[in-house]
């Protein structure tokens, strides 16, 4: 299934505060470092099935776009959106920063919203596993991101993104996103430099420890 390209539709002042120019990133100077995976956690409408028509998906894409525009100044705050139908929507141009992950990359000091491609699956994967169609659409997003980058990118669960604040202090993302049923799927898709792999392992271990503490009785 080919990607449905809505990037022109959302590349306008209506969806980008101050106009598109404010959100452009020179990828020759600031290349993409990784893909960060998210879920909608059930926002933006009822859960859609494998047989949902594109019109219903489009309605939820637009609800997300308007909500993010109001809250973050840009909508959608992601580059790609995946649905249980297997359809993948491109909603943010490669050469734009978005609004999906707070804080900064601990290696480059750049904001993750600038150096990471945001991919979001519609659904709440804290409560239910992703459907085959959702995984197909996510796989398509990762393939397209790797093709565009010209090399395999690291793929990181939002809650496991190794993050520092503007002063360089480690800062947890403090989110279960993209949900406990989707995070394990990523373990087979992390493929990048050893330095970034080590960062991801460290962040993953920290989150796993935090989750173990939360799950512990008393």
**Contact footprint for Zn ion (CB under 5 A):** 38, 158, 177
Angle at 27 between CA 169 and CA 10, to 5 degrees: 95
DSSP three-state, residue 41: coil
> Which CB, 87 or 160, lies closer to Zn ion?
160
- The CB-of-1 to Zn ion minimum distance in angstroms stands at 24
The most distant pair of C-alpha atoms in the chain lies apart, rounded to whole Å, by 52
Q: Are strands 116-121 and 34-39 parallel, antiparallel or unpaired?
A: parallel
> Which CB, 86 or 179, lies closer to Zn ion?
179
CA–chain centroid gap for 64, Å, is 13
- The CB-of-178 to Zn ion minimum distance in angstroms stands at 6
Based on its alpha-carbon atoms, the radius of gyration of the chain, rounded to whole angstroms, reads 17
> Which CB, 11 or 158, lies closer to Zn ion?
158
- The CB-of-175 to Zn ion minimum distance in angstroms stands at 6
> Which CB, 55 or 177, lies closer to Zn ion?
177
- The CB-of-122 to Zn ion minimum distance in angstroms stands at 13
């Amino acid at each position: 299934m080919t990607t449905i390209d809505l990037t022109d539709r959302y590349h306008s002042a209506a969806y980008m505060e101050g106009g598109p120019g404010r959100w452009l990133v020179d990828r020759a100077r600031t290349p993409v470092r990784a893909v960060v995976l998210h879920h909608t956690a059930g926002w933006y409408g009822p859960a859609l099935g494998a047989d949902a028509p594109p019109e219903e998906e489009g309605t939820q894409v637009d609800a997300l776009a308007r909500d993010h525009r109001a809250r973050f100044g840009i909508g959608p705050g992601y580059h790609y959106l995946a649905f249980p139908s297997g359809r993948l929507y491109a909603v943010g141009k490669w050469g734009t920063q978005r609004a999906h992950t707070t804080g900064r990359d601990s290696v480059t000091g750049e904001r993750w919203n600038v150096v990471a491609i945001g991919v979001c699956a519609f659904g709440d994967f804290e409560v239910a596993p992703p459907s085959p169609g959702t995984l197909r659409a996510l796989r398509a997003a990762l393939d397209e991101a790797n093709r565009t980058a010209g090399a395999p990118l690291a793929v990181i669960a939002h809650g496991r993104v190794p993050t520092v604040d503007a002063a360089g202090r480690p800062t947890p993302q403090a989110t279960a996103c993209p949900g406990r049923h989707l995070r394990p799927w990523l373990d087979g898709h992390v493929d990048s430099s050893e330095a970034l792999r080590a960062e991801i392992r460290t962040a993953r271990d920290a989150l796993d420890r935090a989750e173990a503490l939360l799950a512990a009785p008393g």
